[in-house]
A and B are shown apart, each in its own frame.
Chain A
Amino acid sequence: MEAPPVTVMPVTGGTINMMEYLLQGSVLDQALESLLHRLRGLCDNMEPETFTDHELVYLLKGQQGNPFILRARRSLSHPTAPWHLRYLGQPEVGDKSRHALVRNCVDVAASHSLPEFLNEMGFRMDHEFVANGHVFRKGAMKVVVTKLSRILVPGNTENTERLSLSYLVELSVLAPAGQDTVSEDMRSFAEQLKPLVHLEKIDPSKQRH
């Protein structure tokens, strides 16, 4: 039995340097059934999965302008599942011909004491919401159809109010940096959903008013 190798160099690559490729779109409530039907046919053959999640967005205001944002998300339908902490970087301003939004992404699973931990670290909760909908996958691609709801009383996830009459559709892939074939595959998949929903890259920084 040989001893496991001990590395002294810092760990780079692997799951640390993952990029998220993202395409977003939306459909009205009336069109949801046909979209789900279509996705059921196009994606991998599994039982359709629904989810109900509660997401909290934490901000750390430093001396500089931009606050540091962390997203903590837990599943309301699977209460024993670990929390998911996510950091999303700025979108890469690479060539304009890239079809998907690319940004640095760090995903960490955390235990149920995450909110207290973040509070102790100095983060303050900015806003929270409840998301429910359906999840599909095709190979490495994940398609999420979400209905977002606003929480009226902080901390109470029962009392929610829908934000809009539409569903948000997101197509995302987690891949190591530098793989541009991923965006090609995403674009061809988005083409197949074309008349029902238009998935395109939406720059979040351009959304601020």
Chain B
Amino acid sequence: MSGGPAVRVSIESSCEKQVQEVALDGTETYVPPLSMSQNLAKLAQRIDFSQGSDSEEDGAEGEPRDREWGKQEPEEEEGTLKFQPSLWPWDSVRNNLRSALTEMCVLHDVLSVVKEKKYMALDPVSQDPTAGKTPQVFQLISKKKSLATAAQLLLKGAEKLSKSVAENQENRRQRDFNSELLRLRSQWKLRKVGDKILGDLSYRSAGSLFPHHGTFEVIKNTDIDLDKKIPEDYCPLDVQIPSDLEGSAYIKVSIQKQAPDIGDLGTVNLFRRQPKTKAGTQPWHVKLEAAQNVLLCKEIFAQLSREAVQIKSQIPHIVVKNQIISQPFPGLQLSISLCHSTGEKKNHRASPEKPKPDDHLYVLEHNLHQMMREFHKQQLSSVVMPHPASAPFGHKRLRLAGPLAYDKAEISNLQQNEGLLEKIIKQAKHIFLRSRTARTIDSLASRIEDPQIQAHWSNINDVYESSVKVLITSQGYEQICNSCQNIKNGLQFTNSEVYKHKNT
């Protein structure tokens, strides 16, 4: 056509989706395309199970078998299937599977009947005798080959096993970092912060209120030379403890008779105890335990010195550097000191004034540790947990003080009013009194010959009370007249009860 403007012809593909219906206002509703499962069902329906990979014979065989063994139901369903092909897409699949199941059941039944050998027996099919025996040499060679293959397989397996066992041994000997870390984690609290592994060796989770952080760091020990032989005590893991907890410490408690000399104060720094290391413990365990012990000793000493300063008593306690001195009785001096040695200084060996090693009262040191741990446990007791849950923490009985209108005396009864220092002074007093009583009785017994004096000390004692039974008898007249006294060593005085027995 000439003259006219060029006509633009646009081509667009026809709508791929089928139109299901057209509404009154012109909108077309399309048939929604098949979803994946529907598509799969459609494809599955097209599978013909009876057509195997072999040939049509199987297919032909399959059909009479179907008709023979199939039940009425699937036949009916197949019939209905011809009329309504879209009844259910998985139907043919279901049918095929069911026929397969039927055949398997039949096979199973036949085999079980044959096994009994009563109703059915299997006979071998007679072979063609013209097949001929294979030559013996051929049999030998074939057997040899098959045995060789089997042997090869077994050898390969054995080699793999032995290699893995050797590797295990090597690993165990090397004690790699991760297994060591696992062992550390089973005994100490660890957490990961960034790329560092930190741990907590303080008693805070056990109820302590000491403000020391107690954090240690776990580092990999990489200064090992792989060429040289690995030393016996090599450990791939090392711990770095805070610098003020290095070394080891203990609390020295001693009672001396002499009056305190001002110049001597604060000079107790002797350290004579070496901690025994058990064979087989890791070096990091020893280090961490020592650091934890140092921390506990510091806490005990801090608590004692705080009480020594705050509590008013008739004879004031003296706190100098690392020593607390108090006077339980006039002329008697109790000294509690924190001996912390970092383990590097060796110049104490030559000190002339070495105190007697029996000076240190192990019992009191043990009691101090025990009392501190009891204090920790009290902090954690469930008596502190609030019921109702929104109430603040605090002792359960103290919370009743408001509603029940306790007065000051009752409240002070509830609160613990005896500190660590007072308790330890009482115990020291008791120890001194007990030893003095024993000495007095013994000296009397040795001096006085006419009535015999025997003293039996009870083994079961309290920290504040001991009991002794004193028997006073006359020689030859034990049956007739003896008197026995029970002396209980209280804190400040001695009680005695006298029983007189008379045998008529």
Contacts and interface: CB of A to CB of B under 8 A. Distances in A.
Interface of A: 4, 18, 44-47, 49, 51, 53, 55, 71, 73-75, 77-78, 81-84, 86, 107-111, 131, 133, 135, 137, 139-140, 142, 144, 146, 174, 192
A44 B403 contact: no
Nearest to B400: A82
Contact of A51 (B191, B380, B389, B392): B389
B139 interface: no
A107 B399 CA distance: 11
A68 to B, nearest CB: 18
Contact of B390 (A18, A46, A86, A139): A86
Given A44-B380, A45-B206, A73-B389, 20 more contacts: A45-B205, A45-B380, A46-B380, A46-B385, A47-B382, A55-B390, A73-B390, A73-B391, A75-B388, A75-B389, A77-B387, A82-B399, A84-B388, A84-B390, A86-B390, A109-B401, A109-B403, A111-B403, A131-B389, A140-B393
B230 to A, nearest CB: 35
A4 B400 CA distance: 22
Nearest to B209: A139
Contacts of B157: none
A107 B391 contact: yes
Contacts of A109: 391, 399-403
A105 to B, nearest CB: 9
Interface string B117-145: 00000000000000000000000000000
19 contacts: A44-B205, A44-B207, A45-B205, A51-B387, A51-B388, A55-B388, A74-B388, A77-B387, A81-B387, A82-B402, A83-B388, A83-B403, A108-B402, A110-B402, A135-B385, A137-B385, A137-B393, A142-B393, A192-B191
Contacts of A108: 402
Interface in B200-214: 204-207
Given A49-B382, A82-B403, A135-B385, A107 B392 contact: yes
Interface in B407-421: 408
Contacts of A45: 205-206, 380
B242 interface: no
Nearest to B396: A81
A72 to B, nearest CB: 10
Contacts of B384: 137
A11 B294 CA distance: 41
Contacts, number: 81
Question: Size range of the interface on B?
Answer: 20 to 34
Contact of B388 (A46, A81, A140, A142): A81
A108 B391 CA distance: 8
Given A77-B387, A84-B391, A174-B392, A110 B403 contact: yes
Contact of B204 (A78, A107, A139): A139
7 closest cross-chain pairs (CB), A and B: A111-B403, A75-B387, A78-B387, A53-B388, A73-B388, A84-B391, A75-B388
Contacts of A51: 387-389
B266 interface: no
Interface of B: 191, 204-207, 380-382, 384-393, 396, 399-404, 408
Contact of A71 (B389, B390, B403): B390
Contacts of B380: 44-46
A182 to B, nearest CB: 14
B193 to A, nearest CB: 9
B342 to A, nearest CB: 30
B29 to A, nearest CB: 40
Contacts of B205: 44-45
A49 B402 contact: no
B277 to A, nearest CB: 28
Contacts of A18: 392
A200 B302 CA distance: 38
Contacts of A82: 399-400, 402-403
Contacts of A139: 204
Given A44-B205, A45-B206, A111-B403, A135 B389 contact: yes
Contacts of A86: 390
Contacts of B388: 51, 53, 55, 73-75, 81, 83-84
A175 B388 CA distance: 19
B8 to A, nearest CB: 59
B233 to A, nearest CB: 32
A147 B222 CA distance: 51
A146 B388 CA distance: 12
Contacts of B391: 73, 84, 107, 109
A152 B204 CA distance: 44
Nearest to A74: B388
A118 B22 CA distance: 71
Contacts of B386: 84, 135
Given A82-B399, A107-B392, A111-B403, A46 B382 contact: yes
A68 B382 CA distance: 34
Nearest to B204: A139
A46 B377 CA distance: 10
B502 to A, nearest CB: 48
A56 to B, nearest CB: 11
Nearest to A133: B389
Most buried by B among A46, A78, A140: A46
A55 B399 CA distance: 18
A49 B390 contact: no
A142 B381 CA distance: 15
A131 B391 CA distance: 14
A176 to B, nearest CB: 12
